[in-house]
Structure 1
Amino acid sequence: MWINQASSWAFGLSLITSVTSSPIQVRTTGPWMAIDSDFPDPGFVQADDGVWYAFGTNGNNRTVQVARSPDFKTWTLLDKEALPTLAGWETQIDHWAPDVVRRNDGKYVLYYSGEAKEMLRHHCVGTAVSEGTDPSGPYIPNPTPLSCRLDQGGSIDSSGFLDKDGTRYVVFKVDGNSIGNGGDCNNGIAPLKPTPILLQQVATDGFTPVGDAVQILDRDDSDGPLVEAPNLILHGDTYFLFYSTHCYTDPLYDIRWATAKSITGPYTKTGAQLVKSGDYNLVSPGGGTVCGCGDKMLFHGFCGDNRRCTYAADITIQGTQVSFV
């Protein structure tokens, strides 16, 4: 996610106006409104007792927002700050795209993007560990970020993954468009900067890097100015990398996926859009996260008053094809 008002914003607003008069309800097919509040870039995790917890970009006077659901259908925004203290490297603003994973010891690891004091308006991937075994936190930040790559624009949109052999990874975006030449999401004017998705192996603690990160995807002309919001799952013997294309303020913002037989790739873009503007009356849907079980998704879309609400969906995977139930 890169905060910049694109030229397409006016068109996006007209779409929002057309749909907010009839907000999405829980439905038998397709996505439904899960959190009717500004709750962008949702990540989520299931606790041992089966309860689901979702985490959203800063908003509603919270650095990291938390919501709870007993059944994945109905969600409640909690009156709680998941990240009450910050690390020394980060400023007080721009805590984006949180994601949480459960460790083998029962504690949880929070991944998030924070603004770097070293280079304002650019970001690093931070990590934090839950104080206890409550998924809603509080989380205590580690003093050192997982990735910065400020010379390439920074690191954002991190998401954790546990492979079938027990190896842990984090995928994230190198935020090249933040040092672009202007235009759509600051990367619409040639020469366009790369916005690669990287895969970083981490230790069992969930945050200590093991070896160097490897690139598994990047933008091409079909993606507009960027690819972002990566999320990795394994279904059968196939790795599915979900991601968004175009600028989040653009009606072209969407959710797509690529597949691979090895975790390091090569990943093949399917070119298919799981969801796009106009589907189910949605506006600029993106920032999708799929659970490791492969059948549940949260994502955001504009829902009026410049808010990005969270929507939930059941999904099905057949071969390399993904669709809503």
Structure 2
Amino acid sequence: MLSKCFVLAVALFWSCQNSSNSKMLPEQKEETSSVVEIIEDRLPIADPYVLYHDGLYYAYGTRVSGFEVYISKDLKHWKRGEKLALSPSDSWGDRWFWAPEVYYVESKNRFYMFYSVDEHICVASSNRPEGPFVQQEKKPIVSEKAIDTNLFIAEDGTPYLYFVRFTGGNVIWVAEMGEDLTDIKLETLTECIRAQDRWERKQGTVVEGPSVLKRGDMYYLIYSANHFESKDYAVGYATATSPKGPWKKYEGNPILHRDMPAAFGMLGTGHGAPFVTADGGFKYIYHAHASENSVGPRTSYINDMELSADGVIRIVGDVIRPVVVR
């Protein structure tokens, strides 16, 4: 049975170009009287993240200056928000908007978007999951360069921020956050994992895109490795008995890679995030390369994610290939 903390963590943390051809497709069974117009035959975001809140799924990712939001009831059909979830004018920095993640923090009754801009990490907030998200004080969380944030709030209420520092390659670190979720306690900075295993070093010295969850007494750190332009960009995980580690990498890594059935022959599969679905199941959203010969525009896909009784994470099942509809 999932712990209260895990459920909370899940709720918080799990909690390109337009296609020139439009297509018509029947809606789901409960909407058989209508049709949907497909305006893009893919979900055109990289570094994707999904928040499930009040019966709707919200997807955010890397694509434009600022961040879009896509909204869905079924994970297959997504509508692009009419406005940006975060506009550059509401943020510090003016280039390289990457890897947004949005969490509903119940104690504050507010949504928080953590993201990277100009190779620094920032946070903005809103009273709605679709935004607009605004930085109350336009400055990075830390002064040094860093990317790829992930928030985890422990059972005792302590907020932890996982992110990538450039300390001998891309290395995942963690630190406790202040109560207002706008800064970190520098004295708590702790290294989590770095690229050391053979599968992690096929191109570059990179581990990135962390996602942390808890099940029972075990913490799981899901991450991606290799340069994102590598066809061997892939996903693995590590475990620990504390949110600050020490972390032990799973011996069966990677758990998502181009050679695995779940990847369905896709290349460069990675930098995703786990999330809970309406029925309480788990899924994992991630991006892949455009084709054999082109990295971009990267596209997002979704698979089932299982946590077995013996504590093993697996990404399995048929691939959901989301589309954007009008």
Calculate the TM-score normalised by the size of structure 1: 0.74
Name the CA distance, whole Å, in 1 between partners of 2:235 and 2:91.
34
* Unpaired stretches in structure 1, ≥5 consecutive residues: 1-33, 116-122, 177-192
Partners of 2:196 and 2:175 lie apart in 1 by: 22
Structure 2: distance between partners of 1:140 and 1:307: 27
Amino acid in the other structure paired with 2:220: F
Instruction: Return the alpha-carbon distance in structure 2 between the equivalents of residues 88 and 321 of structure 1.
Output: 39
Paired-residue identity, %: 25
User: In 1, are the aligned partners of 2:239 and 2:248 still within 8 Å (CA)?
Assistant: yes
Give CA-to-partner distance per residue, 1:261-289, whole Å, 9 cap, x none.
11111100114111111431211100011
Instruction: Letter of the 1:139 partner, please give it.
Output: F
2:286 equivalent to 1:280: no
Of residues 211, 223, 226, the one that matches 2:206 is 226
2:152: which partner in 1?
161
Q: Distance in 1 between matches of 2:41 and 2:56?
A: 16
Query: CA contact under 8 A between 1:97 and 1:157: conserved in structure 2?
Result: yes
Q: Are the equivalent residues in 2 in contact too, given 1:294–1:317 (CA < 8 A)?
A: no
Shift of 1:75: 2.7
State the partner residue of 2:44: 38
User: What is the match of residue 101 of structure 1?
Assistant: 103
- Which structure 2 residues correspond to residues 160-239 of structure 1 after superposition, within 5 A? 160-176=151-167, 193-210=168-185, 211-222=187-198, 223-224=200-201, 225-239=205-219
Please tell me the residue identity of whatever aligns with 1:280: F
Confirm or deny that 1:145 pairs with 2:125.
Answer: no
The alpha carbon displacement at 1:303 in A equals 2.9
Q: Structure 2: 5+ residue runs without aligned partners?
A: 1-39, 318-326
**CA RMSD between the two structures:** 2.2
In 2, the alpha carbon distance for the partners of 1:215 and 1:288 equals 21
Displacement of 1:294 in angstroms is 7.6
How many angstroms does 1:39 deviate by?
0.1
Report what 1:126 is aligned to.
Answer: 122
Matching residue of 2:284? 297
Give the letter aligned to residue 305 of structure 2: I
How far apart are 1:221 and its partner, in Å?
Answer: 4.5
Secondary structure of the residue aligned to 1:251 is: coil
Distance 2:281 2:121 in 1: 25
Shift of the 234–37 alpha-carbon distance from structure 1 to 2, 3 Å rule, reads same
Q: Does 1:251 align with 2:231?
A: yes
Aligned match of 1:267: 247
Distance in 2, Cα, partners of 1:245 & 1:89? 28
- Could you tell me which amino acid in structure 1 is paired with residue 147 of structure 2? I
One-letter amino acid of the structure 2 residue matched with residue 297 of structure 1: Y
Q: 1:140 to 1:88 in 2, by over 3 A?
A: closer
State the shift of 1:107 in Å. 1.1
Deviations 1:43-101 (A, max 9, x none): 22222x12121111133xx52121112233433332321112446751x2200001111
Q: Say which SS state the counterpart of residue 275 (structure 1) adopts.
A: coil
User: Residues 152-180 of structure 1: CA distance to partner in whole angstroms, max 9, x if unpaired?
Assistant: xx20011111222222221100135xxxx
**8 Å Cα contact 1:255/1:286 also seen in 2:** yes
Where 1:139 maps in the other structure, the secondary structure is coil
The answer (yes or no) to whether the contact 2:226–2:233 under 8 Å persists in 1 is yes
Distance 1:84 1:267 in 2: 36
Q: Decide whether the 8 Å contact of 1:162 with 1:168 is kept in 2.
A: yes
Match of 1:58 in 2: 63
Residue of structure 1 in register with 2:30 after alignment: none
Q: Which 10-residue stretch deviates more, 289-298 or 138-147?
A: 289-298
Matched residues in 1 for 2:88 and 2:179: separation? 24
How much does 1:213 deviate? Answer: 2.0
Size of the aligned set, in residue pairs, is: 259
